Amino acid sequence: MEIFFKGTGENAFVLRPALWYSTRMERIARFEALKAQLEQNPDYSGKITLEEPLARRTTMRVGGNAAFFLEPGDENSLLVALSMLEKAQEPYVLLAGGSNVIISDAGICGTVISMRALRDVSVSPAEPQAGAESAAGAGQQTGAAPHAGAGASGGVVLTAQAGASWARVISLCREKLLSGFEGFAGLPGTVGGALFMNASCFGHAACDNLLSVRYWADGRVHEYTLPPLTDSARNEALQADWGYKRSPFQKPVGACQPPVESHMHSGGSQPHPVNAQQHLPVLLSASFACAALPSDAADEACARLCAQYDETLRARVAKGHFSKPSAGSTFKNNALFGVPAGKLIDDSGLKGLKIGGAQVAPWHGNIIINAGGATASDIRALIQQVQDTVKARTGFLLEPEVLFLGSW
């Protein structure tokens, strides 16, 4: 069975039986035809390859090839590719920073779209628009760039494309002396992935200072907006749409075929029905409110702001996030368990446990690393063993935060 997870960082996917193609040659012929179609389209620019290696494109450094791989060179090329694939009823996987995912050793028998080229980040003055109507929780069709208002009075608006890395965002924040993302220094992955899963770290969530998101769904571009940061309606909107590892972009849009049931367990999670052609929104760009130090700010104030970014990065280094290849935190925390997932794993005596080249990090229970020569199967087997051991000891079933992509 072939499972395609869609999105850049959260538990959402479409599923299609691998037998959709009666033969391997039929599959190759189909992708060659799609490749030729894009190559002949003057509105598309970017990479188009067959059998693209994916291991080097992930932070865990494992996985096979993508049967059909696209890396659009700009947003318009991405929209051209999405239109073509959806018209052809061809499922696809979005891949950006490559964190939080485990790609199977067999690879992905389908289309992978890399978002890496969509990495622009810019800053503009905030221009609140009087009378602007909030559209929290609603998609509005638009072809325009995100507006730079939405209530960041006295500050600035930072706009980033979905494929922009957090390293790129933080670099600009430091250069322009912007606050608002101190907790995201050193975070692997991209803006789109963090918003899709509503990443949270060091007390900050991706949605905290979010103003708007442009996204693709139903064959067109929409805009999602939140009330201004000072609006009393903002908290209600956030509670309705956002939460721990939850965002409004995890809801499928549209359907082309009757539901099918997945009997594939994602690291111990329960099977659930999905649709062969349900399309999730594809995030294009997002705008955030930031506070800017004035150009004549004292050196002391500038140093304090930069020190906050440095401290977050040092904390990540101290936790061993960059010591070995990993996908980041392996399991979600569950408030009902009373303690973090890493503590449950530590107390179960699992730190340092190895299967093949995969290992529970000796320094942190909720990080599984590629200790050298690991395969995706090693990692999945280790995740399953950790789940089984913790459940037998505590009765709690840890839910993976990482996503399993491809044929398992």
pLDDT given at position 22: 56
- How far apart, in whole angstroms, are the C-alpha atoms of residue 66 and residue 50? 7
- Is the predicted pLDDT of residue 256 greater than 90, yes or no? no
List pLDDT tens digits, range 300-334.
888 999 999 999 999 888 877 788 999 989 999 99
- Is the predicted pLDDT of residue 363 greater than 90, yes or no? yes
Nearest to 328 by CA among 271, 401, 389, 266: 401
**H/E run at residue 341:** helix 341-347
Q: Which is catalytic among the residues 329, 348, 399, 407?
A: 329
Quickly count: other Cβ atoms within 10 Å of residue 264's Cβ.
Answer: 14
Mean pLDDT of the chain: 83
pLDDT given at position 13: 39
Q: Which is catalytic among the residues 86, 223, 399, 401?
A: 401
C-alpha neighbours within 13 Å on the C-beta side of residue 71: 15
- How far apart, in whole angstroms, are the C-alpha atoms of residue 106 and residue 199? 29
**Across-strand partners of 178?**
292
At 272, the amino acid letter reads: H
SS3 assignment, position 267: coil
- Asked if residue 348 lies in contact with residue 389, where contact means CB atoms within 8 angstroms, the answer is yes
Active site residue 83: no
Report if pTM > 0.75: yes
- Is the predicted pLDDT of residue 7 greater than 80, yes or no? no
Active site residue 329: yes
Token pair in block for residue 2: 């072939």
pLDDT given at position 299: 85
- How far apart, in whole angstroms, are the C-alpha atoms of residue 93 and residue 138? 24
For the segment 137-163, the average pLDDT, to the nearest whole number, is: 57
pLDDT given at position 360: 98
- How far apart, in whole angstroms, are the C-alpha atoms of residue 400 and residue 391? 13
pLDDT given at position 116: 96
